[in-house]
Amino acid sequence: MRYQPLPAELFTENRQRLYAKLPPQSVVIVHANDVLPTNADGSLPFIQNSDQFYLSGVDQEETILVLFPGAQDPKQREMLLVRETNETIAVWEGEKLTKEQAAQRSGIQRVHWLQDFETQFRSVMCQADHVFLNSNEHIRATIPTETRETRFTRRCMREYPLHDYRRLAPLMHELRVIKSPHELTALNEAIRITGDGFNRLLKFVKPGVQEFEIEAELSHEFIRQRARGFAYTPIIASGGNACVLHYITNHCQCHDGELLLLDVAANYGNYNADLTRTIPVNGKFTARQRQVYDAVLRVFKQCCKILRPGIIIREYQEQVGLIMQEELLGLGLITQEDIAKQDPDKPAYKKYFPHGTSHPLGIDVHDVGHMWKPVQPGMVFTVEPGIYIREEKLGIRLENNIVIGENSNLDLMAHIPIEADDIEAAMKR
C-alpha cells in the first residue's frame, strides 16, 4: 500500500452510523472482492470491495468483516478476519497485515485469522435474528460473473434457511452518499495529484505527440505522488476521437489545430477524483473552438448554481437540458423547428449532448446515490456538460468535483485551470 492510511476514527464512525440503522439482533457480514484471473496463472490487480473498505479501512484480499452489535459476548460485536501470512506468502507475495496492524487500521480490536471464520460464523448465526448481506446494487451495474458475496449469500440461505435475510446495500447507499471530513481529505489529495498531472500536460502537449505518450506522463505523475494510478481508464481523445464518449484506446497522434479532450484523474487511498478538460493541441483555440468552449463553460457554471440542496437529479438534468438547448441554438447546431418536432423522450439537444451532467463521487467513480431523492449538503458530485459535433470532429467536455454545501457549493477543482484564457496562457509558458 503506497498511500498513507486513513485514520481508524473514520471507519469506527462509519460502523457506528450503520449500527444506528440496524434492528436488534442483526448481524452484518461483508466480504472482500475476489482476485480476478486473467489467463494462465495471471490475475488482475486487487481492488477492494467499496463497502468493506468503508467499514474497515482494510485493503487486503480474503478479508471478512462480521458486525454483530447486539451480541451478548462483547468479543463478537466487531470481528475482522484476515488472511494469515507465512514464510511462503512473504517470499512470493509480500507480507500481509498482522493482527495488530489490522486492528490499528480498522479500529476493530478483535482480529482473527481467516481460518477461525467457520467457528465464529456459526456462533453468530445461532444468535442473530436478522442477517444483512451485501451485493452490488448500483443502478448501472452489469455483473456477468458470480461474486464472492453472491456465493456466500447462496451458502447462508442454504445452511440457515429460517433466518430473516435483508439487503445491506440500501443502508450503505444512505451512509456513503454523505462525505465526512476525513473522506474529503482523501478526495482532496486525489484531486491535488490530478491537478498536478494536468498542469504537467499543459507544458507537454504539442502537435505530433501521441495520445499514449500523454497517458504515460499522467501515469508517472500520479504514481510518483503515491496514487494507486488512474481512478478509471483514461480518456485521451484528440480531434474526432473526442466525440466517442468512452474512447480509451489512446492510440492516435495529436495534430496541429485539433482539440484534445482529457477525462483523467487519480485514485488516492481508494477515493477517486474525476476531471475533464479540453485543450488546444497547439496552445491556441480557433474562433469556432473558442465559441463552443465558452458555451460549454457557461453551461458548467449554471450547473454549479442549480445543483443545490433539495433538487432531485432527474429534475436537475431536465433544467440543464434546457440551458444546453439555448446554447446549441446560439451555435447554430439546432433550430426552433427541431425543438418543435422533437420526441419528448429524445429532445433535440441530445444529438450534441447525449449523456448525464452529474453523478455522485467517492470510493467509486460513479458512486452510490439516489436519482429520486433530494440532494443534501455533504454530497459530492461531478459537474460535466459537453458538446460533441461529430460532423466538425469537435468534442468539448469540462468537469469539476463539487461538494454540496448548506449556503454555497465548494468546487474542489477551482484551482485547476478551466477558463480558455488561462489554458492558453499556461500552454504558452
Residues 141 and 225 in one domain: no
Residues 82 and 109 in one domain: yes
Phi/psi class of residue 93: alpha, beta or left (left: φ > 0; alpha: ψ in -120 to 50)? alpha
Per the domain annotation, does 275 fall within a domain? yes
Residues 147 and 195 in one domain: no
What is d(CA 175, CA 157) in angstroms, rounded to the nearest whole number? 26
Residues 265 and 170 in one domain: no
Residues 239 and 304 in one domain: yes
Residue-number span of the structural domain to which 60 is assigned: 8-176
Residue 133 is predicted with a pLDDT of 98
Residues 295 and 383 in one domain: yes
Answer whether 219's CB lies under 8 Å from 228's CB. no
Residue 371 is predicted with a pLDDT of 83
Residues 265 and 348 in one domain: yes
Give the end of a domain, one of 147, 176, 205. 176
Residues 200 and 270 in one domain: yes
Domain count, the chain: 2
Residues 24 and 164 in one domain: yes
Give the end of a domain, one of 176, 209, 231. 176
HEC-encoded secondary structure of the chain? CCCCCCCHHHHHHHHHHHHCCCCCCEEEEEECCCCCECCCCCECCCCCCHHHHHHHCCCCCCCEEEECCCCCCHHHCEEEEECCCCHHHHHHCCCCCCHHHHHHHHCCCEEEEHHHHHHHHHHHHCCCCEEEECCCCCCCCCCCCCCHHHHHHHHHHHHCCCCEEEECHHHHHHHHCCCCHHHHHHHHHHHHHHHHHHHHHHHHCCCCCEHHHHHHHHHHHHHHCCCCEECCCCEEEEHHHHHCCCCCCCCCECCCCCEEEEEECEEECCEECCEEEEEECCCCCCHHHHHHHHHHHHHHHHHHHHCCCCCEHHHHHHHHHHHHHHHHHHCCCCCHHHHHHCECCECHHHHCCCCCCCCECCCCCCCCCCCCCECCCCCEEEECCEEEEHHHCEEEECEEEEECCCCCCEECCCCCCCCHHHHHHHHHC
Residues 170 and 208 in one domain: no
Per the domain annotation, does 313 fall within a domain? yes
Residue 97 is predicted with a pLDDT of 94
Per the domain annotation, does 2 fall within a domain? no
Residues 277 and 390 in one domain: yes
Q: What is the CATH classification number for the domain harbouring 307?
A: 3.90.230.10
Give the end of a domain, one of 153, 176, 199. 176
Per the domain annotation, does 1 fall within a domain? no
Residue ranges for the chain with pLDDT beneath 50: none
What is d(CA 373, CA 357) in angstroms, rounded to the nearest whole number? 17
- Cell 500536460 belongs to 201
Residue 273 is predicted with a pLDDT of 98
Residue 197: count other Cβ atoms within 10 Å of its Cβ: 27
Residue 178 is predicted with a pLDDT of 97
Per the domain annotation, does 3 fall within a domain? no
Residues 36 and 135 in one domain: yes
Phi, psi (rounded to 5 degrees) for 419: -65, 140
Q: Which of 106, 10, 9 is nearest to 67 (CA)?
A: 106
